[in-house]
Amino acid sequence: MSADSITDLALCRVVPTPKTRWVFVRIATASGAVGFGEATLPRPEPGRLEHAAARMRQHAVGREVHPAILAKVDAPRTLAEAAVFSATDQALWDLWARGRGVSLATALGGARREPVPLYANINRRTIDRSPEGFAASARDARAKGFDLLKIAPFDEVTPGLAPGERRAAAEPGLARIAAVCAEVAPHGELLVDCHWRFDKASAAEVTRQAAAVGAKWIECPLPETADHLAAITRLRSLANGLGMRLAGCEEGIHGEAFEPFLAAGAYDVMMPDVKYIGGLEEMLRTAERFAQHGVAFSPHNPSGPISHAASLHVAAAAPVLDRLEFQFDESPVFDAIVQGRLPLREHGASALPAGPGLGVSLKDDRLTTEALPLAQEQVV
């Protein structure tokens, strides 16, 4: 093996709160260098990340460090495969840039903007789910200089509800929206994430009600399937007429996943995620496609510190940028597990991490390493 060849690829995790698990890919090399990527999933998929990481380990170990080694890996088909593929790409870029003494943004073509504008997702840090609890979180975020805030308020709208029950179940969420809008007015804005929980009728009604109290963004109201595409496009027209933007597409795997939505004019804003898009260069190419269609590029980023660092570099290097999401103050573990220093997230913006590569790594003593299958035949 050459001095910069890969000696190991491991899956690691950190559990910062009872409802959150961050998952990372850690690549070690013969020279002693270590690179990280993040593969956190939005929903538990037992065993799938481990299986995908085992395949990636068999492909990567013994090869020289370079992002191009993933060109011969089969394209991911599931979100778990995409998460491991994307995290491996992040770690390889981290190592490759570190080896050349340049930042990740520089390796990706150069930073076009710094600081990077952010908005604060205050949803997970809000333990008190009452309207007053959400308003208190909004005050905390505003005290740090954030005027653009996001919440996911529709806790009671669950998959088991009949279509006619969803509008009534949305009432507590609408009360939370009203409380936060009152807190951020008149100078701030509220972004509302629906997590695909509504049907066509209830999505339209919730959009009207959210707009009436001052929300400016409605995200993922309907399942993003081919049979909902026309309805999503109609909902965009409704939202725009009410002074709102419609946002979505946070789980797209490769740029092709976004093309039907671009062609239909379905969204004002699209939200690819560095954890699922299938590589940092793919993220930049996708941003360019958005610019060609007049669609805002606003990366999805509600996860751990490595995803945040990678997203900052990509957002800085991208041809266009609306704003980058930031998971506001969910847990002090976010900063505590980082080796190095993430820039402060205040006043609605962040500088890039200083130093080569991502500019940060993770403390090994804070990580739990996942066991991986040792042979291809064990991977199912």
Domain limits, the chain: 6-102+362-378, 107-360
pLDDT in tens, 250-259: 999 999 999 9
Contacts by 337-340, CB closer than 8 A, 24 or more apart = 337/14, 337/305, 337/362, 337/363, 337/366, 337/367, 338/305, 338/362, 338/363, 339/363
DSSP string for 51-106? HHHHHHHHHHTTSBS-GGGGGGSPPP-SHHHHHHHHHHHHHHHHHHHHHHT-BHHH
Indicate the CATH number for domain 107-360: 3.20.20.120
CA-based nearest residue to 286, from 256, 328, 248: 256
C-alpha 50 chain-centroid distance? 20
- 6-102+362-378 has CATH 3.20.20.120 classification: no
pLDDT in tens, 212-235: 999 999 999 999 999 999 999 999
Does pTM surpass 0.75? yes
At 331, give phi and psi (nearest 5°).
-160, 145
Strands 148-151 and 245-248: unpaired
pLDDT in tens, 246-302: 999 999 999 999 999 999 999 999 999 999 999 999 999 999 999 999 999 999 999
Q: Report angle CA 140, 146, 152 to the nearest 5 degrees.
A: 75
